[in-house]
Amino acid sequence: MSDLHAVILAGGKGTRLRPFTITLPKPLVPIGDESSVLEIVIRQLAHQGFASATLAIGHFGELIEAYVGDGRQWGLAVDYAREAEPLGTMGPVVQVADRLPEHFLVLNGDTLTDIDYAELVRSHAASGAPITVATARRETRIEFGVLDVEDGRVIGFREKPAIPYTVAIGAYALSREVMQRYPSGTALGFDRLMLDLIERGERPASFEFSGLWLDIGSPEDYDRANLEFDQIRARLLPNR
């Protein structure tokens, strides 16, 4: 695909990451004393063959725009979608849907991962699905013995079991037609979009991923990214 385009969601307030985000937007918090999260994401996209990106900005948007400019210093042509009021995860995408290619990437501006974004979009285009969600497997360990009870009797027992589940990692490939169903200015969350599609019988596709993934909106992951940056730099920025 020669027209790879990404929409980077960078309008959140970053409340989980305070006090770092009191004076900085979350995508501009520093990683490893050399780059912001957003700069790493933009460099990755350019390295993977993306030609352009739209930055959806709101809170502290003027700081993001001043920092990134037109993006060409990092090899990516950047334009902007500005939110006058919060529109949810997918609302900013609806706002610019008419200027997007047939298939495109949407990603959170606070996610660090070594996923192949271009392959995610190519997989989506070939799938026929309305949206393809990059997913990872996680598990939660229950710190108690778990009983299966039926009619007042214990019929099963598991000592501190690990419960596996699948999560979205904050990267999605979408088809433009899906976003054009919603009027511009609509507040639209990822949850509502997924439920709308499932209700219509249009099942989203899953792009399974098992590599590096850090949610920088989480203080624990932000601390980990800084502590381990020397070790993970080559995975995040293979062209440097």
Confidence at residue 26, expressed as pLDDT on a 0 to 100 scale: 76
Count of H helices and E strands in the chain?
8, 13
Give the pair of three-digit tokens for residue 121.
């979009």
pLDDT single digits (tens) 202-220 = 999 999 999 999 877 777 7
Check if the beta carbon of residue 164 is closer than 8 Å to that of residue 137.
Answer: yes
Q: Model confidence at 13, in pLDDT bands (50, 70, 90)?
A: low
Confidence at residue 223, expressed as pLDDT on a 0 to 100 scale: 78
User: Residue 203 and residue 129: Cα distance in Å, rounded?
Assistant: 7
Distance of CA 88 to the CA centre of its chain: 13
Confidence at residue 115, expressed as pLDDT on a 0 to 100 scale: 95
Q: When comparing pLDDT for 155 and 110, which is higher?
A: 155
Confidence at residue 59, expressed as pLDDT on a 0 to 100 scale: 74
Mean pLDDT (whole number) for 25-36: 77
Q: Which of 58, 13, 14 is nearest to 219 (CA)?
A: 14
Q: When comparing pLDDT for 62 and 55, which is higher?
A: 55
DSSP 86-111: --TTTHHHHHTGGGS-SEEEEEETTE
Mean pLDDT (whole number) for 118-126: 96
Say which residues have a Cβ less than 8 Å from residue 103's Cβ, sequence separation at least 6: 1, 121, 124, 125, 173, 174, 175, 176
pLDDT single digits (tens) 78-102 = 999 887 777 888 999 999 999 999 9
**SS3 label, residue 195:** helix
Residue ranges and CATH numbers for the domains of the chain are: 5-135+168-236 (3.90.550.10)
Measured between its terminal Cα atoms, the distance across the chain in Å is 24
Check if the beta carbon of residue 93 is closer than 8 Å to that of residue 64.
Answer: no
Q: Which of 41-45, 55-59, 170-174, 179-183 has the lowest mean pLDDT?
A: 55-59
Q: Model confidence at 21, in pLDDT bands (50, 70, 90)?
A: low
- For residue 238, the one-letter residue type is P
Mean pLDDT (whole number) for 160-175: 94
**Strand bridging mode 153-159 / 103-108:** unpaired
Q: What is the pTM of this model?
A: 0.87
User: Residue 182 and residue 197: Cα distance in Å, rounded?
Assistant: 12
User: Residue 78 and residue 32: Cα distance in Å, rounded?
Assistant: 24
Confidence at residue 86, expressed as pLDDT on a 0 to 100 scale: 76
Confidence at residue 22, expressed as pLDDT on a 0 to 100 scale: 55
Mean pLDDT (whole number) for 40-61: 90
Confidence at residue 79, expressed as pLDDT on a 0 to 100 scale: 94
**SS3 label, residue 198:** helix
